[in-house]
Amino acid sequence: MALRTTAVLRSSLSKWAYNLSGFNKYGLLRDDCLYENEDVKEALRRLPDHVVDERNFRLVRATQLSLQKIVLPKEEWTKYEEDKLYLTPIVDQVIKERKEREKWEKEF
């Protein structure tokens, strides 16, 4: 029973923090907000073109909305349940490959 209560509390807290962050009000996904370092740029290069185009559209729309100091109508906000991590798994793979390459170069 305690595990179930903890899981429900964690889920509720996650949703609250997600909505409090504010990026969903502009139609952005969590991975749209990643800082673009070299690893993220490599992961973006590996994504299919249509996914990159969708990301760019969301970023441009969010920038335009922010400049106009408005947000999307509530029915168009990104919902917690609909937000998927499309870039993070690829970034993790890129980081793993980079560390492996650095280790290889260091040893040989």
Amino acid identity, residue 63?
Answer: T
pLDDT in tens, 17-61: 999 999 999 999 999 999 999 999 999 999 999 999 999 999 999
Closest among 68, 76, 99 to 26, alpha carbons compared: 76
Where residue 31 sits, what CATH number does that domain have? Answer: 1.10.1090.10
Span 78-104, pLDDT tens digits: 999 999 999 999 999 999 999 999 999
Number of domains composing the chain: 1
> Is residue 33 a contact partner of residue 23, using CB atoms and an 8 Å limit?
yes
Q: What is the pTM of this model?
A: 0.86
Domain range for 64? 1-107
